[in-house]
Amino acid sequence: MDYKNSIDKNNIPKHVAVIMDGNGRWAKEKGKLRVFGHKNGVKAVQEVVEAATTIGVPYLTLYAFSTENWNRPKFEIKALMDLLVKSLEKELPTLMKNGVRLETIGDIEILPGSAAQRLKEVKEKTKDNTRLTLILALSYSSKWETAEALKSFALDVQEGKISAKDVNEETFRSYLQTADYPDPELMIRTSGEKRISNFLMWQLSYAELLFLDKYWPDFRMDDFYQAIYDYQNRERRFGKTSEQLKKSSDV
């Protein structure tokens, strides 16, 4: 099936989030080291970014390194950080050409100096691009984000900037790392695992979840188009009934 041409251009999700999983298992099945899987995962990152820009998804978040990933062997962490620095260097011209703005969520300050510095530079250079906002979740977890949000809120209360009784969904949202982005409508996870794994727990409240069996290094543009097609063929009820939805689309 030609998924790309079957996509309804009027119903493109504003934000898609991806848990890129399975690099290690992909490599192991080929008798290679886990790092080989991460290297091949970069190709899949290029594909998903190109597919998102092609069909006009305005926000794309990729879970590149979780808070829990700091527990991996030191050499794997170093290899991932080196890969990030190299990829950012190499991809900058493509990001500029395709109108991609790079942003990050997570505890960027604790990344190794070279990675933090390169991210800062690429974010600055791409800040006026408007076609796609590519958000890399790095040293990120939802529980970390929630604790940080509460800390900032408590400080603002202490300094008299906001009152505790002003807390509602909107004010809480403004303290999250993702305050400037819409919530994802679709979350894709590769590798057959069916978990959220501490990723955007508040923001994914109403997202459609899609779990694919293939490993991340095998993910290609057509998989993204198929995911969007799948999303468009689901009924999103937001707590309402099917009948209510049909009625409101008839008027």
3, 12, 69, 112: which one binds ligand FPP (CB under 6 A): 69
Catalytic residue among 5, 10, 40, 69: 69
Cβ distance to ligand FPP smaller for residue 197 or 232:
197
Q: Which of residues 115-144 bind ligand FPP (CB under 6 A)?
A: 136
Evaluate whether 227 touches 57 at the Cβ level (below 8 Å): no
- Whether 21 is a known active-site residue: answer yes
CB 217 to ligand FPP: min, Å: 8
173 Cβ contact list (under 8 Å, min separation 6): 179, 202
**Using the rule CB under 6 A, is 103 a contact of ligand FPP?**
no
Residue tagged 């999303």 (tokens): 231
The reply to whether 180 belongs to the active site is no
Give me the least distance between CB of 138 and ligand FPP, in Å please: 8
Cα distance between the two ends of the chain: 32
**Rounded Cα gap, residues 148 and 142, in angstroms:** 10
What kind and span of H or E run contains 19?
Answer: strand 15-19
Looking at 2, 10, 11, 21, which residue is catalytic?
21
C-alpha distances (whole Å) from 200 to each of 5, 137, 186, 227 are 30, 10, 12, 19
Q: Using CB under 6 A as the criterion, what x/- string covers residues 81-100 for binding ligand FPP?
A: --xx--x-------------
Most distant pair of Cα atoms in the chain: their distance: 59
CA gyration radius for the chain? 19
CB of 102 to ligand FPP, least distance (A): 10
* Binding flags for ligand FPP, 2-41, as an x/- string (CB under 6 A): ------------------xxxxxx--------x---x--x
Touching ligand FPP, residues 213-232 (CB under 6 A): 216
Burial of residue 102, with CB atoms counted within 10 A of its CB: 0-12 exposed, 13-18 middle, 19 or more buried:
buried
Angle, nearest 10°, between helix axes 113-125 and 74-97?
10
Q: Which of residues 164-223 bind ligand FPP (CB under 6 A)?
A: 191, 216
Question: Which of 17, 45, 52, 137 is in the footprint of ligand FPP by CB under 6 A?
Answer: 45
Q: How many residues bind ligand FPP (CB under 6 A)?
A: 21
Tell me which residues are annotated as active site: 21, 69
Residue ranges binding ligand FPP (CB under 6 A): 20-25, 34, 38, 41-42, 45, 62, 64, 69, 80, 83-84, 87, 136, 191, 216
